[in-house]
Chain A
């Protein structure tokens, strides 16, 4: 037993959805447990459990206060490989939008008295410590997560997608939001982030009748400015477009686009 690699699962500021997707593996968790020992996981194991000497640390959530930043540094010291799960960890997540808004105004809308609120700028995990691999999505796709773990255990690098959601969307045969003749119904945004968003989700949102809103982050060669230009041609305001391209990614350095 003791030779199995040791894994720790950690939650920072998040909704727990990516950890929940791990539980949603159902009986496949048992298969994963054939290969690893979970030695730290607050969501599922009673304390005390042991966050030291880890082979793989799995981190969900963004860094949003000083305690989390310190915990992250400890995790990095205690682990050979660090991977992140989800948009919060990789990009900042929806809470990262407050970096791009008037922070004071955002915070006082939620709390009448700010004196006790310990909050720093929202940061993606790789802005704080070195991250070896990121499983993307809000939430992650559980199969993709399991496959990534198996790759890492085998010492191989999990696959990178390097293509936009549009490619998967076309394979699925969805009618493109940009090409519809009829005006779109009110509930949908007028624009789809598929052209600049990293694939791997199977074009989940367009396949369910909603435009992609970019939860997996941008492709490496994303033409964001070109995309914004197209959005402007569709009568969107620059503020709305900037918030949309950063709906999940306010916690990264990329967010400069929004400030332009």
Chain B
């Protein structure tokens, strides 16, 4: 029996994507994930723009990763123009990214993923069936936004992070007020880890493929590092991303496929945790233990719970930075610099995985080249190969289950399709 499952709109993801799976006699014949978002051509729009305009414009690629885009963009511009930001700037950027991780991870786990796990169409019915959980969601998600607002000046598309440093600083009271709210959020997120862990009858998948994340041997890198690590080999310098993470165009689709050593690979919270778990904060380790994840873990569905573990870890790291700032050494810095033309590459982690920016600036400090590779562009190939691994496990189940589990699989990546649409080739065929 030949069956085609066509998930026309994958709902509850950021963006417009479609999955087509062909099953022949309980065997998977073909799986294609298509991006249907409108293209926005950022690489082209930036041509001729002054270096200081670049981060402002490019953060508009994606709202939910806007802090990561803004930050990796400022780092790439700084690398290109030989600008060295201060230690405090690095810390403020980390804090901003922790806020983004918390906000994005909790948005995804509570609002977009959890409804599947309790078999509800959306989070709205949960407001009456699980009011305590929804309350936790509002509190934690809102707090992630508040961190971004107080550090970056706005929850979406931060204003204060600029080339060279920050255009404005949080006040002591602002830092204290966020600091006070974090412990409750940690406690509540630990509860939610138990909830996700114990939900019965959930799909699983074992896809032993490679995974990658930025790498710093001294710390769990969420925000900017000089190397990229992966599961089956040595770390390589971030500047060599184009030689290791190969993007190719396939004739049957206009989408680019990424591979590492000839295979699909995953980026995101689970890969980060697989590579960095020994570098978690103590509270993060507690969360990991509670999650009962057995690392390295190859079950894509576990990306959800890995996000919750990271949420706890990022919350603790926010406390650590805020305490340091509050206790003594926060400075209101002024800065200026002497930019020189050149090329710069920077890599970071967006909540949903590895994110790369590269720019070249001419004598007039105008952008002549730009390359941005987003996590969902890296993950797309793996989404398809995961279907190959999943279908034999679930092919005997009723069609509704197969559709649900496929939807859940794609959602587990927390794909940001609007992000990936800036660069991938779009499929013109509408069957």
- The chain A residues found within 8 Å of chain B, CB to CB, are 11-21, 23-24, 26-27, 30, 33, 38, 42-47, 49, 61-62, 64-65, 68, 93-95, 97-98, 101, 105-111, 113, 116-119, 138-139, 185-189, 204-205, 208-210, 213, 239-240, 243, 247
Provide the bound-state CA to CA distance between A15 and B13, in Å: 12
Which B residues, 374 to 431, have Cβ-Cβ distances below 8 Å to chain A? Answer: 418, 422-423, 425-428
| Minimum-distance CB pairs A-B, first 3 | A106-B44, A17-B63, A13-B38
What 1/0 flags go to B25-64 for Cβ under 8 Å of A?
0000000000001111111110111101100110011111
Provide the bound-state CA to CA distance between A98 and B45, in Å: 6
Is B271 among interface residues, defined by CB-CB distance under 8 A?
no
CB-defined contacts of B122 to chain A, threshold 8 Å:
44-46
A-B contact pairs, 15 of them (CB 8 A): A11-B16, A15-B62, A24-B142, A27-B135, A33-B127, A44-B123, A49-B11, A62-B38, A94-B40, A101-B45, A106-B41, A111-B39, A189-B52, A209-B166, A239-B48
Q: How far is the CB of A193 from chain B (nearest CB, A)?
A: 12
Provide the bound-state CA to CA distance between A21 and B13, in Å: 15
Give the residue among B11, B142, B162, B335 with the most A Cβ atoms within 10 A.
B11
CB-defined contacts of B155 to chain A, threshold 8 Å:
21, 24
CB-defined contacts of B334 to chain A, threshold 8 Å:
185
Which B residues, 108 to 125, have Cβ-Cβ distances below 8 Å to chain A? Answer: 111-112, 115, 121-124
User: Is the beta-carbon distance between A117 and B52 smaller than 8 angstroms?
Assistant: no
User: Is the beta-carbon distance between B38 and A68 smaller than 8 angstroms?
Assistant: yes
Provide the bound-state CA to CA distance between A27 and B153, in Å: 22
CB-defined contacts of A43 to chain B, threshold 8 Å:
11-14
User: Is the beta-carbon distance between A106 and B425 smaller than 8 angstroms?
Assistant: no
CB-defined contacts of A93 to chain B, threshold 8 Å:
60
Neighbour of B156 across the interface among A21, A30, A243, CB < 8 A: A21
CB-defined contacts of B162 to chain A, threshold 8 Å:
187-188, 210
User: Is the beta-carbon distance between A26 and B418 smaller than 8 angstroms?
Assistant: no
**With A26-B138, A42-B16, A210-B167: A47-B9 Cβ-Cβ less than 8 Å:** yes
User: Is the beta-carbon distance between A109 and B41 smaller than 8 angstroms?
Assistant: yes
Q: Which residue of A lies closest to B61 (CB)?
A: A15
**With A15-B66, A46-B11, A110-B43: A208-B153 Cβ-Cβ less than 8 Å:** yes
Is B283 among interface residues, defined by CB-CB distance under 8 A?
no
Q: Which residue of B lies closest to A68 (CB)?
A: B38
Is B214 among interface residues, defined by CB-CB distance under 8 A?
no
**With A45-B11, A109-B370, A116-B254: A243-B121 Cβ-Cβ less than 8 Å:** no
Interface of B, helix, strand, loop or mixed by DSSP: loop
CB-defined contacts of B370 to chain A, threshold 8 Å:
109
A-B contact count (CB 8 A): 199
User: Is the beta-carbon distance between A186 and B339 smaller than 8 angstroms?
Assistant: yes
**With A47-B9, A109-B370: A208-B167 Cβ-Cβ less than 8 Å:** yes
Is B278 among interface residues, defined by CB-CB distance under 8 A?
no
Neighbour of A16 across the interface among B14, B41, B49, B339, CB < 8 A: B14
- The chain B residues found within 8 Å of chain A, CB to CB, are 8-9, 11-16, 37-45, 47-50, 52-53, 56-57, 60-64, 66, 107, 111-112, 115, 121-124, 127, 135, 138, 141-142, 145, 153-157, 159-160, 162-168, 249, 254, 334-337, 339, 370, 418, 422-423, 425-428
Q: How far is the CB of B56 from chain A (nearest CB, A)?
A: 7
Provide the bound-state CA to CA distance between A47 and B377, in Å: 24
Other CB < 8 Å A-B pairs besides A11-B16, A46-B115, A116-B426, 6 of them?
Answer: A26-B138, A43-B14, A116-B428, A204-B159, A208-B167, A210-B167
Q: How far is the CB of B35 from chain A (nearest CB, A)?
A: 11
User: Is the beta-carbon distance between A243 and B49 smaller than 8 angstroms?
Assistant: yes
**With A16-B14, A209-B160: A98-B336 Cβ-Cβ less than 8 Å:** no
User: Is the beta-carbon distance between A101 and B47 smaller than 8 angstroms?
Assistant: yes
Provide the bound-state CA to CA distance between A180 and B249, in Å: 52
Provide the bound-state CA to CA distance between A219 and B40, in Å: 27
Neighbour of B142 across the interface among A21, A26, A64, CB < 8 A: A26
User: Is the beta-carbon distance between B160 and A188 smaller than 8 angstroms?
Assistant: no
Q: How far is the CB of B416 from chain A (nearest CB, A)?
A: 8
**With A109-B44, A110-B41: A204-B153 Cβ-Cβ less than 8 Å:** yes
CB-defined contacts of B61 to chain A, threshold 8 Å:
15
Q: How far is the CB of B358 from chain A (nearest CB, A)?
A: 13
CB-defined contacts of B40 to chain A, threshold 8 Å:
13, 64, 94-95
User: Is the beta-carbon distance between A186 and B168 smaller than 8 angstroms?
Assistant: no
Provide the bound-state CA to CA distance between A239 and B53, in Å: 14
Provide the bound-state CA to CA distance between A205 and B168, in Å: 10
CB-defined contacts of A111 to chain B, threshold 8 Å:
39, 41, 423, 425
User: Is the beta-carbon distance between A17 and B157 smaller than 8 angstroms?
Assistant: yes
Neighbour of B337 across the interface among A15, A44, A186, CB < 8 A: A186
CB-defined contacts of A139 to chain B, threshold 8 Å:
63, 154, 156-157
Q: How far is the CB of B122 from chain A (nearest CB, A)?
A: 5
Provide the bound-state CA to CA distance between A113 and B256, in Å: 12
Q: Which residue of A lies closest to B160 (CB)?
A: A208
Q: How far is the CB of B303 from chain A (nearest CB, A)?
A: 19
Provide the bound-state CA to CA distance between A244 and B236, in Å: 39
Provide the bound-state CA to CA distance between A39 and B163, in Å: 43
CB-defined contacts of B138 to chain A, threshold 8 Å:
26-27
Give the residue among B43, B63, B122, B370 with the most A Cβ atoms within 10 A.
B63
Neighbour of A12 across the interface among B38, B60, B121, B335, CB < 8 A: B38
Q: How far is the CB of A11 from chain B (nearest CB, A)?
A: 7
Neighbour of A208 across the interface among B123, B154, B336, CB < 8 A: B154
Q: Which residue of A lies closest to B62 (CB)?
A: A15
User: Is the beta-carbon distance between A94 and B123 smaller than 8 angstroms?
Assistant: no
CB-defined contacts of A101 to chain B, threshold 8 Å:
44-45, 47-48
User: Is the beta-carbon distance between B41 and A14 smaller than 8 angstroms?
Assistant: no
